[in-house]
Structure 1
Amino acid sequence: MVELAPAEAGFFRRGFAGDTFNTAWYVRRLLPADWDVSYATWVGKDAISDEMLSFIAEQGIGTETIRRVPDRTVGLYMIQTRDGERSFTYWRGQSAARDLGQDADWLDSVLAGRDMVQFSGITLAILPPEARQRFCAALERARKAGAHVAFDTNLRPRLWESPAAMAEGLTLGASVSDTVMPSFDEEVLAFGDTTPEDTIARYRAGGARCVAVKNGSETCHVWSEDEGLVRHDPPAIAKVVDSTAAGDSFGAGFLAARATGALLAEATRRAAELAAEVIQRRGALAPEIFEGDDT
């Protein structure tokens, strides 16, 4: 999506971001250069879609999995912050991405041969119910073919038809996923969980092989079927500037670490440390974190 992020003196800075793209952007910088990272979505054929595709390609992220459709465009959102916490205003009625669940053949083609696929609760929320089912069915086929499917639940209640549809959609998404990455405060809202262990137990019962429960500045609880439960206290932050992409960057750090062989505790530590760096900067993407890093 097009991102309008707060800048100085009441101005806004235009960029391109969005939860799953943010994760792909950070993953690209964390993985070896010869590993392929691509982004799959639908965009329009207008000028702003042209600019978005150019930006994605400039970031080293593959665009061959992006479909262009006429008479549509991309979504836009504006970030507003107060004491470091962000809120969002969206304009996405003409977003081509809302139709990406319509074509099962296209979904199968872009998922084929992938080692890891990541999607989010926002991905599901913008799709109509039938397309949501079609999208998850394609993920299940990719999973059976050998892909590791990761799901960041990322709740935006206003995008869903109802609280019941939201809970049902999250449960559906988790059911086709190997790794589930929820945020505890959102699980309290959606399911009434009382502890992070409740969240882990529910997703574990649904078939997840790994569950990483993000919890802001509180203890992160992460479980996997091969290593059990680990707990991690995130770094203390003197001042949170902008919490945008905190969860997205955590997911990137966690998935990149696991993909390159890190054990659960180490992957969680890396993820939390990256998120801590991100929330001390404005906007979703923070290239300055990686400046001078040759990895």
Structure 2
Amino acid sequence: MTGPGRTAEYDVLVLGEVLVEIHADTALGRAVDGTSARLSYSGDALNAAAAAAAAGARTALLAVVGDDELSVPLLRRAAELGLDVSHVHRSPRPNGAYLLAADTGGDRAFVYWRTGSAGSTLSTGHVASWRKLLTRSKALVTSGITGALAPGGRAAVLAAARAVHAAGGHVSYDSNFRPRLTGRSEARELLAGIAPLAGLLKTACPADTLPLVDTGDPLTAAARCRALGARTVVVTAGADRLLLDDGTRAEYHPVPVVPDPVDATGAGDCFTGTATARLALGDSLADAVAYGMAAASLSVSGRGGTGRVPAFAETKALATAHRG
């Protein structure tokens, strides 16, 4: 990860957006006046960072949050999840938010409020202020969502990834294509720019792979992402398996099944955060991916993006039992 003899300030940095999460107690189509809801905090960056910290990594959040009344409990929650939030920037704008409803079958619906949010102001100026952290840390996690928030966010993702890569660190990138936020051409351009910097590129088939690399076949998708320059590619192909292509072979891995799933929100982020943390801590790729799958499986038993962040002992136990 970092050069011989260098002391990393953090194992994992996570660059991206933090959101206020409002979790409705009923499906959105059935919501009526008086429907109750639960307030929490999520966003792909917070979800991945929480998972990295739970997996044992020294983790810092690199984000821009607002100055509204929810910013204090938002940052308090992030700190409770084990994150260093001392490098977070503040902006005189509201925090982004989303309404989430999930039924017992796992179907989810989202309504977002992001326009003009603090998170959308992320820029290369912020990355410049974090440059010393980026060049002294073992790994960076970022995503296509972060790059889709605004043109400045796209430039920030690339600048941060270049800084970490140039310093010998590891970059994990989750393509996370969101058509409500960005067009195909912009997302494909970002993918092409960051793939050569990525030690681990995660993408979902077919939701990401069809618009980004023109295929709904996981094997073809992995090959095309590797052709863009990514060293290792993980393709999630439904809830029960993922494809790992490390350049020597492409192989499907079954995902551990846990009883009574509640909500899959943030499961992919949990995978990326956990796998990156374990790579930064020196685990093999095979072990890191196994731990990532186990943590993601455990996370679906909680509500919301950070409703269930499994401790590493539990993650390791499930991964070991599943592989055995």
Opposite residue 2 of structure 1, the aligned amino acid is V
Task: Compute the RMSD of aligned alpha carbons.
Answer: 2.6
Classify the secondary structure of the residue corresponding to 2:206: helix
Give the Cα separation in 2 of the matches to 1:55 and 1:24: 12
Query: 1: distance between equivalents of 2:292 and 2:278?
Result: 8
Aligned pairs (5 A) from 1:75-224 = 75-82=96-103, 83-103=105-125, 104-128=127-151, 131-160=153-182, 162-186=183-207, 187-224=209-246
> Structure 1: which 4+ aligned runs deviate by more than 6 Å?
291-295
Partner in structure 2 of residue 4 of structure 1: 22
Task: Give the aligned partner of residue 280 of structure 1.
Answer: 301
Q: Give the CA deviation at 1:290.
A: 3.4
Distance 1:171 1:12, change over 3 A: farther
Partner amino acid for 1:148? Answer: H
Q: Is the 8 A contact 1:152 1:180 kept in 2?
A: yes
What is the one-letter code of the residue matched to 2:305?
A
Identity score, percent: 28
The answer to whether the Cα contact below 8 Å between 1:101 and 1:107 also exists between their aligned partners in 2 is: no
| Aligned residue type for 2:119 | A
Instruction: Give the TM-score normalised by structure 2.
Output: 0.80
Q: 1:191 to 1:294 in 2, by over 3 A?
A: closer
Aligned to 1:74: 95
Which residue of structure 1 aligns with residue 42 of structure 2?
A: 17
Shift in Å, 1:231 = 2.0
SS of 2:244's partner is strand
Structure 1 pair 134–293 and aligned structure 2 pair: CA distance change class (3 A): closer
1:26 to 51, 57, 60: 51
The code of the aligned residue for 1:101 comes to: S
- Read off the aligned partner of 2:135 and give its amino acid letter: A
CA pair 36-268 structure 1, distance change in 2 beyond 3 A: closer
Residues 232, 265 of structure 1: 8 Å contact kept: no
Provide closer, same or farther for how the CA distance between residues 88 and 173 of structure 1 changes in structure 2, counting only shifts above 3 A: farther
What is the CA–CA distance in structure 2 between the aligned matches of 1:291 and 1:214, rounded to whole Å? 22
- Structure 1's 168 and 291: CA in aligned 2 closer, same or farther, altered over 3 A? closer
- Structure 1 residue runs of 5 or longer lacking an equivalent are none
**C-alpha distance in structure 2 between counterparts of 1:4 and 1:134, whole Å:** 28
Q: SS at 1:275's partner residue?
A: helix
Are 1:136 and 1:176, in contact at CA under 8 Å, matched by a contact in 2? no
Say if 2:78 is the partner of 1:56: yes
Deviation at 1:280, TM superposition (A): 2.9
Q: Is the 8 A contact 2:144 2:173 kept in 1?
A: yes
Which protein, 1 or 2, shows the higher relative CO under an 8 Å CA cutoff with sep ≥ 6?
A: 2
1:100/1:107 Cα in 2 relative to 1: closer, same or farther (>3 Å)? farther
**Deviation of the 1:81 alpha carbon:** 1.9
Say whether 1:242 aligns with 2:267: no
SS in 1 for 2:40: strand
**Does the CA contact (< 8 Å) of 2:171 and 2:200 recur in 1?**
yes
- Shift in CA distance, 115/91, structure 1 to aligned 2, threshold 3 Å: same
C-alpha change, 1:189 and 1:206, in structure 2 (3 Å) is closer
Tell me how far 1:212 sits from its aligned partner: 1.0
Measured after TM superposition, the shift of residue 218 of structure 1 is 4.1
Q: 1:221-257 CA distances to partner (integer Å, 9 max, x unpaired)?
A: 11224x6333201134555421101211121232233
Are the structure 2 counterparts of residues 37 and 133 from structure 1 closer, same or farther at C-alpha, using a change threshold of 3 Å? Answer: same
The SS at the match of 1:23 is helix
Give unmatched runs, 5+ long, in structure 2. Answer: 1-18, 27-33, 317-324
Number of positions where the alignment pairs a residue of Structure 1 with one of Structure 2: 288
Residues 157 and 270 of structure 1, relative CA distance in 2, 3 Å threshold? same
Task: Name the amino acid aligned to 2:40.
Answer: G
Write the deviation string for residues 179-200 of structure 1: whole angstroms up to 9, x where unpaired: 1011112212433214212121
Q: Distance in 1 between matches of 2:67 and 2:133?
A: 20
* Preserved contact between residue 122 and residue 156 of structure 2 (Cα < 8 Å): no
Task: Tell me if structure 1 keeps the 8 A contact 2:200–2:231.
Answer: yes
What is the TM-score with the length of structure 1 in the denominator?
Answer: 0.87
